[in-house]
Structure 1
Amino acid sequence: MTVQDFARETDPAEMLEQLLRDRHSCRAFLPDPVDDEVIERILGIAQLTPSWCNTQPWQAIVTRGAGTTRFRDALLEQARGGPPQPDFAFPTGFHGVYQARRRTCGYQLYDAVGVAHGDREASGRQARENFRLFGAPHVAIVTSDAALGPYGAVDCGAFVTSFMLAARALGIASIAQAALAGFAPFLHTYFGIPEDRMVVCGISFGLEDTAHPANCFRTGRAPLPEVLTWHD
């Protein structure tokens, strides 16, 4: 069933739920480029995202063609050494249920691609796929206005979700990548991002390589009672 067929046969809530279920973090892409018109439609839909006081703090830089190849090569070289330097501080640590969920996701990926537990060389190779953009033909670098602080980042997070759902609805796979934000100084220099804007994340996107083992697993979600508190 196509997305269009599904839309005709379901109500809006069911369609949204199905898009959320179908969307996943794609970790292997085909090299085929996405038409500019499709990319602009994805961004146009994402532009409808709500934001605080309608500030719309997000901006996106999108690579294509040789621009993606040059950026990928430069990023891989940059990623050879040095600690992360994100504009927004990374988590200081993962604990409790957050650590458990993170480990489960990691184990699922490693099992899918054949990385044995404890094989640091193989896990390192898989981690470097982030900086190869998982072979995607495009990446969007999302930034926010520095003066809006964490609230601008929250709005940008909503924009990223809208982008990925719109992409999924149009048959385009994607993955949001905080790993790219770890090289914020490089991104500022490479793309000429002014200092009054902060790098939130990257989104690699394109056509999914459905035959690649990295795309054969799906992460779970916590049951509603774990995240919901009623107050009467």
Structure 2
Amino acid sequence: MQVTLRASWVTDIGSRLRERQWLKILGTTAWIWLFFIGYFHLLRNPFGPVTEMPWTAVDEWIPFQPGWLVPYLSLWVYVGIAPGLQRGLLPLLSYGFWSGVLCLTGLAAFMLWPTRVPPATFDAGGFPGFDLLQGIDAAGNACPSMHVAIAIFTCCWIEKILRGAGAPWLLRLANLAWFLAIAYSTVATRQHVALDVLAGGLLGGAFAWASLRWRPAEAPLPPPAAAMAIIDQR
């Protein structure tokens, strides 16, 4: 029975990943590229005085940990999973719409209220990768943390799809752990403060709730995959 259930969810997830692969890859790449155009424009050309975000007790408690740069950068792999798991053209376009509006809302927040993290109290030059990161992604566009907003939006969608497919709890736990690692890394690498993370979580969570509530129905499993799932369940 255990093998049968495993085959069923593997069939479901596999069929999702195989569907419209190039459209998903190219669409996600274009989405990230367009977001960064707006992000870096506002980073280098703020529309007004830049507010420095305050430190909290949480920020004092979490030390600078350069090893968390890897989870921080892993977001750009993580964000491709949820669109990759969409089934049907309309659900895929709907996901793109909601994630796009989420990003535009974040950019609007940066435009109306430019923010930055407090100046670093350490020299990150001795840590591999930080010179490049700080040269590209400076301390601005801090609140809300779009790293966290996009990550929690992705996490909620992956959880919904995995749960619906009957995936094992360990896989769903790994999804949650990946999100938490990304969220923690934003503070551990000093790219954000705790208030940025809170604001980003609320923003991304709100859009995740709305997008999961108002979404088109998914297409059924393709005939060969559906037939295989039925055989697996016997």
- TM-score tier by shorter-chain length is under 0.3
Task: Say which structure is richer in strand.
Answer: 1
Task: Say which structure is richer in helix.
Answer: 2
Q: TM-score, normalised by structure 2?
A: 0.25
Larger radius of gyration: 2
Q: TM-score, normalised by structure 1?
A: 0.25
